[in-house]
Amino acid sequence: MTKFEYAPAPESRSIVSLRESYGLFINGEFGPGVDGRAFKTISPATEEVLAEVTEAGPADVDRAVTAARKAYEQTWSAMPGRERAKYLFRIARIIQERARELAVLESLDNGKPIRESRDVDIPLVAAHFFYHAGWADKLEYAGYGPAPRPLGVAGQVIPWNFPLLMLAWKIAPALACGNTVVLKPAETTPLTALAFAEICQQADLPPGVVNIVTGAGETGRALVEHPGIDKVAFTGSTEVGRQIARACAPTRKKVTLELGGKAANIVFEDAPVDQAVEGIVNGIFFNQGHVCCAGSRLLVQESVYSDVLASLRRRLTTLRLGDPLDKNTDVGAINSAAQLAKIRELSEVGEAEGAQRWSPPCELPVKGFWFPPTLFTGVSQAHRIAREEIFGPVLSVLTFRTPAEALEKANNTPYGLSAGVWTEKGSLILWMASRLRAGVVWANTFNKFDPTSPFGGYKESGYGREGGRHGLEAYLDV
């Protein structure tokens, strides 16, 4: 096979104008934090410092919650839905207008390939605002009673894997339903949330309706534990989700948690191999595997195991790892040194427990945080790499003989966020889908998202749904 090289095709950074430092966005304005603390956000691909960002302390969180409360009582909750919709439509259109800038900024701060931020993240962000704008004046038809009321002030904490998309999942339904919000982005990826704050200014959103407080876990804790909020929405690790559930249990706060996953991607012997291999690759190597619903456990029917594995290995040798801003890049940088350490540690455990590790020949850049696409074969259900969320480009491969065995293995996990089924038999898809304990089941595809579809988990993957008509319930007093 002739190997042909791609010429570099870097997206220009010039469309992004980074400020040296960013304040907190409270009551419609950027300003300093009370105690003057700040932290740096870096590019995980180069370790270059991108900007300094204010660390919000409890006093800042309190100011943000007060601003959100005032905006809730004085403007937003009293505004007719059709007026709120106009703001959401305006935000959606500005996101589309600034799409290229937002995509470059996201790839710089997060490390994900520009192809993904440009073609997946940002279009979905706009779609979420368009979709929820449509609901704002139709809430009485959503099935939650004739005059559903908003909850009040929502405290929202999001992770670093889809920074702007998780913001959209949280803010769009909250505003459509008439709530105001205080949102904390992840420490390693605050920049697109701050760009979103500028978009709120550009859209003339009334002050205090959206507040962005940057900081680390302590800022998140101050927000979710603040007595002035009515609703907590969190996406992140199961461990932090548990802490939040505990903290909110004695309060009247309504809580939704979207936590980890260890999804099974199940390939039956009649599945078209090439199509399934594309789905496997998309399932685990999309966004470097930093995806809560990633197909991190591949279950292959024994009769086609060697064919599927041979095709998969061949396909992995064609993945291009490198500069996230290069339009040819398939696999970008790992988001942080801490996440890289976790991926390395679990991969070493996988080897020590007896699984066989394989990666395609792949040169890793010297600077930044990188991990090659990796397969583990000979994995048993007891192995930690089959049970724990690695949250990186690492696939554990297991086998099965019958549909019943596939089902049992797929459901043998404390998580239940998503699953994939690959077969030509419609009856088998329906049989599996009705028995898989997972919030989303994809058939002959994987990682497909749409604002009209509810998303959320069973078991330790959390509770509550985001998106679609079901997602509105989380922001309404029903």
Interface with ligand NDP by CB under 6 A: which range of 17-25, 53-61, 183-191, 376-384? 183-191
Which residue in 258, 388, 466, 473 is the catalytic one?
258
Q: Are 184 and 194 in contact (CB under 8 A)?
A: no
Residue placing its CB nearer to ligand NDP in the complex, 388 or 473 = 388
Q: Report the residue from 259, 385, 421, 428 that binds ligand NDP according to the rule CB under 6 A.
A: 259
In degrees and rounded to multiples of 5, residue 471 shows phi and psi of -65, -20
Q: Report in angstroms how near the CB of residue 190 gets to ligand NDP at its nearest.
A: 9
The 3-state secondary structure of the chain reads CCCCCCCCCECCCCCCCCCCEECEEECCEEECCCCCCEEEEECCCCCCEEEEEECCCHHHHHHHHHHHHHHHHHHHCCCCHHHHHHHHHHHHHHHHHCHHHHHHHHHHHHCCCHHHHHHHHHHHHHHHHHHHHHHCCCHHHCCCCCCCEECCEEEEECCCCCHHHHHHHHHHHHHHCCCEEEEECCCCCCHHHHHHHHHHHHCCCCCCCEEECCCCHHHHHHHHCCCCCCEEEEECCHHHHHHHHHHHCCCCCEEEEECCCCCEEEECCCCCHHHHHHHHHHHHHHHHHCCCCCCCEEEEEHHHHHHHHHHHHHHHCCCCECCCCECCCCECCCCCHHHHHHHHHHHHHHHHCCCEEECCCCCCCCCCCCCCCEEEECCCCCCHHHHCCCCCCEEEEEEECCHHHHHHHHHCCCCCCEEEEECCCHHHHHHHHCCCCCCEEEECCCCCCCCCCCECCCHHHEECCECHHHHHHHHEEC
Cα–Cα distance between 191 and 208 in angstroms, integer? 20
Q: Report the residue from 184, 253, 297, 409 that binds ligand NDP according to the rule CB under 6 A.
A: 184
Query: Residue of minimal CB distance from ligand NDP?
Result: 220
In degrees and rounded to multiples of 5, residue 124 shows phi and psi of -70, -35
User: Binding marks (x or -) toward ligand NDP, 445..474, rule CB under 6 A?
Assistant: ------------------------------
Q: Report in angstroms how near the CB of residue 228 gets to ligand NDP at its nearest.
A: 16
Q: Based on the residue annotation, tell me whether 348 is a catalytic residue of this protein.
A: no
Q: Report in angstroms how near the CB of residue 229 gets to ligand NDP at its nearest.
A: 12
Residue placing its CB nearer to ligand NDP in the complex, 185 or 451 = 185
Residue placing its CB nearer to ligand NDP in the complex, 255 or 300 = 255
Residues between 47 and 76 that touch ligand NDP (CB under 6 A): none
**389 counts as binding ligand NDP under rule CB under 6 A:** yes
Interface with ligand NDP by CB under 6 A: which range of 134-142, 236-244, 266-274, 379-387? 236-244
Interface with ligand NDP by CB under 6 A: which range of 15-23, 237-245, 311-319, 347-355? 237-245
Interface with ligand NDP by CB under 6 A: which range of 182-190, 266-274, 316-324, 466-474? 182-190
Q: Report the residue from 25, 135, 391, 442 that binds ligand NDP according to the rule CB under 6 A.
A: 391
Residue placing its CB nearer to ligand NDP in the complex, 390 or 432 = 390
**240 counts as binding ligand NDP under rule CB under 6 A:** yes
Residue placing its CB nearer to ligand NDP in the complex, 301 or 335 = 335
Q: Based on the residue annotation, tell me whether 388 is a catalytic residue of this protein.
A: no
Residue placing its CB nearer to ligand NDP in the complex, 158 or 421 = 158
Q: Report in angstroms how near the CB of residue 414 gets to ligand NDP at its nearest.
A: 13
Cα–Cα distance between 280 and 328 in angstroms, integer? 20
**Which CA distances in Å does 46 have to 31, 40, 49, 281?**
29, 14, 9, 25
Residues between 100 and 159 that touch ligand NDP (CB under 6 A): 157-159
Residue placing its CB nearer to ligand NDP in the complex, 186 or 432 = 186
Q: Report in angstroms how near the CB of residue 161 gets to ligand NDP at its nearest.
A: 5
Q: Are 191 and 2 in contact (CB under 8 A)?
A: no
Residues between 194 and 233 that touch ligand NDP (CB under 6 A): 216-217, 220-221, 224
Nearest to 64 by CA among 22, 32, 26: 26
Q: Report the residue from 161, 192, 301, 347 that binds ligand NDP according to the rule CB under 6 A.
A: 161
Which residue in 292, 293, 460, 466 is the catalytic one?
292
Q: Report in angstroms how near the CB of residue 287 gets to ligand NDP at its nearest.
A: 11
User: Binding marks (x or -) toward ligand NDP, 331..370, rule CB under 6 A?
Assistant: --------x--x----------------------------
Catalytic residues, by residue number, are: 258, 292
Q: Please give the residue ranges that form the binding site for ligand NDP (CB under 6 A).
A: 157-161, 184, 186-187, 216-217, 220-221, 224, 235-237, 240, 243-244, 259-260, 292, 339, 342, 389, 391
